[in-house]
Amino acid sequence: MKTLLIDDLREIKATRVARTYDDGIHALVSEGPWDMLYLDHDFGDPDPAKTGYGIMKFLELNPELKPIKIVLVTSNPVGRKYMQMVIDKLYPEEL
């Protein structure tokens, strides 16, 4: 199984780990397709658009890049809520 972790701090066993928003986007575009994406919300970037929610909005605009499954690993409850809303749009069959 090909897995991608986009998270600035967590250590989760994955095929590929991206620690920044930009590296995560690069991995989605250039190194996929991915079976599983583990996704954090806060990457410590001063740009408020460069979050896990920003990654989800990117996938919403580029659904051909979406992994088979997305697991949210964020501790941010508000970020999780918005990210889950996009997941529910991208994967309506799982509702």
Number of folded domains in the chain?
A: 1
Q: What is the tens place of the pLDDT at every residue in 70-90?
A: 999 999 999 999 999 999 999
**Please, which residues bridge with residue 5 across strands?**
17, 38
DSSP reduced 3-state for 91: coil
Residue 32: phi and psi, rounded to 5, are -80, -175
In tens, the pLDDT along 7-42 reads 999 999 999 999 999 999 999 999 999 999 999 999
pLDDT number for residue 93? 78
Local structure of 38: helix, strand or coil: strand
Q: Which residue has the tokens 């990210």?
A: 83
Give the domain extent around 72.
3-94
